Amino acid sequence: MIITLTTDFGARDGFVGAMKGVIARLTPEARVVDVAHDIPRHDIAHGAWVLATAAGDFPSGTIHVAVVDPGVGSARLEVIVAAGGQLFVGPDNGLFQHVAAWGVEGTWAITSPAFRLPDAAPTFHGRDVFAPAAAALARGLPPEAAGPATCLAGALAWPPAVAGGLRGHIVHIDVYGNLISDLRLPSGLAPSARVVLGTHVLPISRTYADVPAGAALAYVGSAGTLELALRDGDAAAAWRVRRGAWIEVQGG
């Protein structure tokens, strides 16, 4: 059984190691895979995107633990979410918004003692709730045994793009400064279609090499959504764009 970890804990402290220790103690046969631990601190939206773009490449039945949790110890629920044939464990704070778009098959609050360590610390649910919950799932306990069924309540600051629509948002900025949106292009777009972001109007290309160095382009990225970039440049810095900015496809 594969258990993945995505956190904002970094590598300088023992937080990730503590989570791995709990999993190893409770389910030594589990294979633990690190997705990312350098999510910017408290940046739920960044963690949500990284989780969704990585999780889709794992086998069905993989258990994904995600901890970007500035509200740890608050009234927000600790949950298990079944979506896309996989299981996600973490806080209900918007971290699962993108994977929920795959189709939620069930959501359960983590309340059962079989899924938590006794006397869980209110400031370290990664070790005391989410790691043991993942281990319980890896041992074969069904997610519905974790606690009562519930619905995801946490959401990011902007709604998801409308399926088949021509408007969306910038939801992530990658290490190259490319602007990644939540917009999936509908089929049958005219070759003359353009992407508009503020005062910028971009042609839709296949890849970076289709335009000269320094030119702007839009393209369908590896996650299947529309991305905007400057070839060999940093679009986010050059255009001073932040997440949440609207984009629109025109002339389609």
**pLDDT the model gives residue 186:** 76
CA dihedral angle for residue 86, residue 161, residue 69, residue 30, rounded to 10 degrees: 10
Q: How far apart are CA 127 and CA 120, in angstroms?
A: 8
The domain segmentation of the chain, as residue ranges, is 2-146, 167-250
> What is the band of 73 on the pLDDT scale with cuts at 50, 70, 90?
confident
> What is the band of 164 on the pLDDT scale with cuts at 50, 70, 90?
low
- Top-level CATH class of 2-146? alpha beta
**pLDDT the model gives residue 179:** 97
Q: What is the pLDDT of residues 110-147, one digit of tens each?
A: 999 999 999 999 999 999 999 999 999 999 999 999 99
Quote the mean pLDDT of the chain: 93
**pLDDT the model gives residue 4:** 99
Structure tokens at 12: 């300088």
Residue with tokens 């679009």: 235
**pLDDT the model gives residue 251:** 74
Cβ proximity of 5 and 16 under 8 Å? yes
**pLDDT the model gives residue 12:** 94
Largest CA distance in the chain: 61
Q: Rounded to two decimals, what is the model's pTM?
A: 0.87
Which comes out higher in pLDDT, residue 156 or 82?
A: 82
Q: What is the pLDDT of residues 9-56, one digit of tens each?
A: 999 999 999 999 999 999 999 999 999 999 999 999 999 999 999 999
Distance of CA 176 to the CA centre of its chain: 18
CATH architecture of 167-250: Beta Barrel (2.40)
Label each residue of 52-87 as H, E or C. Answer: HHHHCCCCCCCEEEEECCCCCCCCCCEEEEEECCEE
What is the percent of the chain where pLDDT is above 70? 96
